[in-house]
């Protein structure tokens, strides 16, 4: 699916990266622990998290993550959004909780990738 699909499924707001919404995503990962995310390395991934600090962007950068989704209404500050913008990482924000967000994407066909 594309990031646009992710955005529609989650009823999410685009905070940055509007111009890249047609990018393809093939797997997703949901966690507030960045080291658990770093243990996961797949191409064309979406990262769902409730953690709101600059290290989320750095983690996404190291893993070449296409799109970040801040769940349960978390709002990253300007510094975080600016960092994502510089790195061309799309940032979405949804009011849905982590479990629901993951479930909605999974149901729509986005998997977690093989272990």
DSSP symbols for 81-100:
HHHHHHTT-EEEE-SS-HHH
- Residue 14, strand partner residues: 92
Q: Does 24 bind other proteins (CB under 8 A)?
A: no
Q: Does 75 bind other proteins (CB under 8 A)?
A: no
14 vs 27, beta carbon nearer other proteins? 27
12 vs 56, beta carbon nearer other proteins? 56
Residues 17, 91 contacting (CB under 8 angstroms): yes
Tokens of 81: 């959004």
Site string for other proteins, 31-70 (x = CB under 8 A): -xxxxx-xx-x-------x-x-xxxx-xx-xxxx------
Task: Indicate the SS3 state at residue 50.
Answer: coil
- Site residues (vs other proteins, CB under 8 A): 32-36, 38-39, 41, 49, 51, 53-56, 58-59, 61-64
């Amino acid at each position: 699916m594309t990031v646009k699909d992710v955005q529609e499924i989650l009823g999410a707001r685009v905070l940055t990266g509007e111009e890249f919404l047609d990018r393809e995503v093939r797997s997703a990962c949901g966690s507030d622990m960045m080291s658990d995310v770093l243990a996961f390395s797949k191409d064309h991934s979406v990262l769902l998290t409730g953690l709101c600090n600059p290290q989320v962007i750095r983690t996404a950068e190291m893993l070449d993550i296409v799109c970040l989704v801040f769940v349960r209404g978390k709002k990253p500050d300007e510094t975080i959004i600016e960092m994502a913008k510089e790195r061309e990482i799309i940032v979405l924000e949804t009011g849905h909780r982590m479990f629901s967000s993951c479930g909605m994407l999974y149901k729509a066909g986005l998997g977690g990738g093989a272990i």
